[in-house]
Structure 1
């Protein structure tokens, strides 16, 4: 596995749990897995965690993201050669997103080592379904295309992302497989007193709380949620909103809340430790995903694991409307309607419970590892 992040060193977003937990599931099935990833300076260069071998690289972190990834890939190249010398050859090289593309292409052309690539999102999607003329964004998009072109097999996590990469990069059907993201049952669920968590943040224990968790970016639509708040409060004055996450839209959303006169109802926590996020998943009354573009939606699975209903935009394709959540349109009035529907009690506890059943049966790592191995087996036969 080649990934710029993992749960056992540098963690950035959703790739970290995917790579880490998928690798552990593959080990449980009897396979040997090595992850080459970045070092945060707090971990050993080499160690084994839950049966997975970690090889962490140090690189030059200066410059823009392209320069950083170039240096990371150079370090990964050297690390891979050292690891191969020690452990022997590998049956599969598997890269995640655009970050390790240059090292994978280098290994392919220098040593005839083909690779599998998983797309977790696209630059087009991260920019809210549009092309960004910025040179850095253009280079990221080019590397996404290059990875799809050079790889032998491509994995995407959803039908939405499947259609997206076919549209953007003309990847042929025979190379593409859909293997969803996943989580562990009871990874998020806790037996806690929601009222005590709310009181800790100055919220009345009986007050309904809406949780947004994720990157504060245009793609994820936190501004749409903020714009919906006055409409929600017109319906029920006491609803509170918790925002967990960092990103380039955080300051704008805080300013927007002030302009709309709803700052007193908003709690912008920024980046929060896992335990804080888990507490709020369990303490909140509804999780809102107002995404403009959503390649999968791991937040939905985590909300379901906690037994919570989800109000999600129609960009999120996981939700079965009025069964395990409420699907709304990508504008504030519709988002407010969905939140009010759940807060009024029309979306009862069965929504979260139906979702939790899907986590147990469909979106668990055992099932996902099986699907990944099917792709590997095609790759090895080729």
Structure 2
């Protein structure tokens, strides 16, 4: 590792004095290219924080029709275009090939990088190829697993099996592995047998204040024909089996029986959206639902501040960045027990993964039982624990550990 001096102590460990690291970040999404889900803010905001701390960060990501190169908030964005035909596995094969050739151009211009950091399975092929040719170590962060994303239907189809294989391969070849929560660690170890000594638990982060906005909630509600006095329960995320939007829709009749004026806003796209809308029609609650589809960041921020409750009805939740966003806005969260961030009755309400329990949690909060206090406790956690300074410090320590093992 070229930018690190190691001073060994009497116990065989080492103290590290570093100037700066040269980091290659590999992700299929980012805030300034193609945005898909929670990896985008994680990758971009972590990279920006590392850059602010003096490290040189090169982020390799997809183009999204944007320029091939830009420096944004101190981060070098190297965007690549690739053939997008075929299924997701074939697309990622072509993305990895394109990333590899761009990587070669970058190191010719900027010099060798000290460490590579990939996110989820998408860039595993390029990371393994560079390691095999150059010996450059890489870190892999698991944000979720294919098994978790698809309702534990692992191995039912070729695509899922191949994705799972790459998740295993990335963990096997990585010098170190970062996992965002203990529950995801258990899932990854169950699936891929990665040893404890190789794993660091480092949570997602958020910029404190990112989601906070002074606004008139009634004005936001009026845009969609909602009474300013009506309580709004917000779902925001992928409309997928993993995220459980159908469980929330099925809970609506029991909530309306308790609070007939309650309204439910769903932000996000996915294969379950038509199904959820059909459930709402069939159960006679369509009048209380608003399916907005994909929403720009500003609209999501508006609703995080205008709503009364954020509901996270997930069946599987590797971390729950939506919880941090709700907390940052000071909102009370009702989440299933798949979400392990919640300390029930302290910073949110934990419920079971069924409609009756979800309805109970929403009704409990609507009755005013600690509504404000729970959100304030979550906001405090955002400011003290789930911030990028803390996350980046822990991440750099993993970089150094992986690089020192390679010297």
Q: TM-score range by the shorter chain?
A: over 0.9
Aligned match for 1:31, one of 42, 55, 60? 55
Q: CA RMSD in A?
A: 0.7
Q: What residue number does 1:14 align with?
A: 38
Q: What residue number does 1:379 align with?
A: 402
- C-alpha distance 364-207 of structure 1, shift in aligned 2 (>3 A): same
Aligned pair 1:274/2:284, yes or no? no
In structure 2, how many angstroms separate the alpha carbons of the residues matched to 1:71 and 1:142?
17
CA contact (8 A) 1:309 1:324 kept: yes
Aligned match for 1:5, one of 22, 29, 32? 29
Aligned pair 1:311/2:311, yes or no? no
Aligned pair 1:258/2:281, yes or no? yes
Aligned pair 1:82/2:82, yes or no? no
Q: Which runs of 5+ in 2 are unaligned?
A: 1-24
Aligned pair 1:139/2:162, yes or no? yes
Alignment partner of 2:115: what SS?
Answer: coil
Q: What residue number does 1:325 align with?
A: 348
Aligned match for 2:68, one of 39, 42, 45? 45
CA contact (8 A) 1:129 1:293 kept: no
Aligned match for 1:183, one of 206, 221, 229? 206
Deviations along 1:321-363, one digit per CA (max 9) or x if unpaired, are 0111100000000000000001111132011110000000000
105-114 or 306-315: which moved more? 105-114
Aligned match for 1:154, one of 159, 163, 177? 177
Deviations along 1:307-329, one digit per CA (max 9) or x if unpaired, are 00000000000011011110000
- Relative to the length of structure 1, the TM-score reads 0.99
In structure 2, how many angstroms separate the alpha carbons of the residues matched to 1:79 and 1:338?
50
CA contact (8 A) 1:66 1:136 kept: yes
- Relative to the length of structure 2, the TM-score reads 0.93
Aligned match for 1:93, one of 101, 116, 119? 116
Alignment partner of 1:243: what SS?
Answer: strand
Alignment partner of 2:250: what SS?
Answer: helix
Normalized per residue, which structure has more strand?
A: 2
Aligned match for 2:388, one of 365, 372, 375? 365
CA contact (8 A) 2:137 2:403 kept: no
Residues 238-249 of structure 1 correspond to what in structure 2 (within 5 A)?
A: 238-249=261-272
Q: What residue number does 2:316 align with?
A: 293
Deviations along 1:208-254, one digit per CA (max 9) or x if unpaired, are 00000000000000000000000111111110000000011001000
Q: Which runs of 5+ in 1 are unaligned?
A: none
Aligned match for 2:186, one of 160, 163, 183? 163
Aligned pair 1:351/2:395, yes or no? no
* Cα offset, 1:132, TM superposition: 4.3
CA contact (8 A) 1:304 1:353 kept: yes
Runs of 4+ in structure 1 deviating by more than 2 angstroms, as ranges, are none
